[in-house]
Amino acid sequence: MQGKGYAFAARQSPGIPMRRRRFHRHPAGKASLSGRSRGGLLLTLVLVVVGLAAAGAWWSQRDRSLAEVREAGTVRIGYAVEAPYAFLTGEGRVTGLAPEAARRVAQRMGLGEPVWVLTEFNALIGGLKAGRFDVIAAGMFITPEREALVAFSRPMQEVGPGLLVAKGNPRGVASRAAALTRPDFRFAVLAGSVELAELTGLGLPPERLLIVPDAGSGLTLVADGRADGLALSLPTVLWMAAQPSAADLVEVLSGPPGDGPSGRTAFGFRREDRALREEWDRHLEALLGTDDYKQLTRQFRFVTESMKLRRRE
């Protein structure tokens, strides 16, 4: 016979009294798990937890990124020249907000002076993944496309876009947004930059985009009249226009607040180097709240009335 809600039916053999099996029902009418079933389920869960813990321990042993820099006593840092994020002084010292912050983080980690590796901006991620250096310190903006390739530290700051034009604004554009609407306005942009991705995404044709390897090359194109404007972050164009060698050649086009998208900058790491990134982040978080870091932002002109700058908590 088949009872409703029972797991199976008992069949009676001739001459043998049928032994009734009792089941406890759930409100839905289905039989509850036996003690043996519950024990099996509990054992399975325990094995899963133990397995996950073992996998985590195995991965921690495999990730020697932090151990290797400690053994070397230093960390290799890739950078690209784009002041005030990173650049070289006349004496050849690597400086800028990102390298100076990196120096301080390395010191807090008990490491010596970093080994600096100069790289074109567009080759930074490739160089990191190839193992040429351990950290990117170049004021790189966090984007979804880059996050698919590298892991970022906590953000250092958020900055807005800028536009550098020839002295006197010969094209007579009122803002960055207005320049975008001019079909004959030619932008110089860095290879691999967020500005290039933004302008390409807006549908600007290739003939309006002059791709350069570094900010200095873009400034030269604007000063020579081969480009109408250099699209970079606001800190960069403000810094460039303030240099004595460029003050008579270029100026920053002052647009209204929100004249283009802002972005967050951070240090970059190989995705598998979790131990190094987490230790770096721990010391970076402590650094960002200090007077020392605030002085760095003033030194490299990251704090002005026209600049959008926020430290992310």
- Helices vs strands, H then E, count in the chain: 11, 13
- 76 and 149 both lie in a single domain: yes
In this structure, is residue 17 part of a structural domain? no
What is d(CA 215, CA 234) in angstroms, rounded to the nearest whole number?
Answer: 12
Same-domain check for residues 178 and 149: no
SS3 82: strand
Is 286 a member of any domain?
Answer: yes
Do 149 and 270 sit in the same domain of this protein? yes
Are β-strands 229-233 and 187-190 bridged in parallel, bridged antiparallel, or unpaired?
A: parallel
- Whose CA is closest to 176, among 252, 122, 96? 252
Q: Which amino acid is at 97?
A: L
Q: Which residue has the tokens 């001739």?
A: 14
| Helix spans in 130-233 (H) | 144-147, 176-181, 194-201, 215-224
- Per-residue pLDDT reduced to its tens digit, 198-235: 999 999 999 999 999 999 999 999 999 999 999 999 99
What is the spatial distance between Cα 260 and Cα 254, in angstroms, rounded to a whole number?
12
The helix, strand and coil proportions of the chain, stated in percent and rounded to the nearest 5, come to 40, 20, 45
Which residue range forms the structural domain that includes residue 79? 72-158+263-299
| 176-204 pLDDT tens trace | 999 999 999 999 999 999 999 999 999 99
Could you tell me if 88 and 138 lie in one domain? yes
On whether residue 78 sits in a domain, the answer given is yes
Listed residues 232, 252, 272: the one ending a domain: 252
Q: Both 139 and 88 in a single domain?
A: yes
Q: Are strands 151-152 and 263-269 parallel, antiparallel or unpaired?
A: antiparallel
Q: How many domains does the chain have?
A: 2
> 213 with 199, same domain?
yes
Residues 244 and 169 in one domain: yes
| Cα–Cα dist 233/163, whole Å | 8
The Cα–Cα gap between 105 and 99 comes to 10
Does residue 172 form part of some domain?
yes
186 and 205 share a domain?
A: yes
The whole-angstrom separation of Cα 164 and Cα 250 is 7
- CA 303 to chain centroid, in Å, comes to 22
pLDDT of 43 reads: 63
Question: Do 180 and 219 share a domain, yes or no?
Answer: yes
Look at residue 151 and tell me if it is in a domain: yes
Residues 226 and 287 in one domain: no
Residues 138 and 276 in one domain: yes
Global pTM value: 0.76
Residuewise pLDDT in 10s, the chain (313 residues)? 444 443 333 344 444 444 444 444 444 444 444 555 566 666 666 565 545 544 444 444 689 999 999 999 999 999 999 999 999 999 999 999 999 999 999 999 999 999 999 999 999 999 999 999 999 999 999 999 999 999 999 999 998 899 999 999 999 999 999 999 999 999 999 999 999 999 999 999 999 999 999 999 999 999 999 999 999 999 999 999 999 999 899 999 866 655 667 899 999 999 999 999 999 999 999 999 999 999 999 999 886 544 443 333 3
Beta bridge partners of 158: 264, 310
Distance CA 92, CA 99 (A): 13
153 shares its domain with 230: no
Q: What is residue 193's DSSP assignment?
A: -
Which domain CATH number covers 271? 3.40.190.10
In a domain, residue 308? The reply is: no
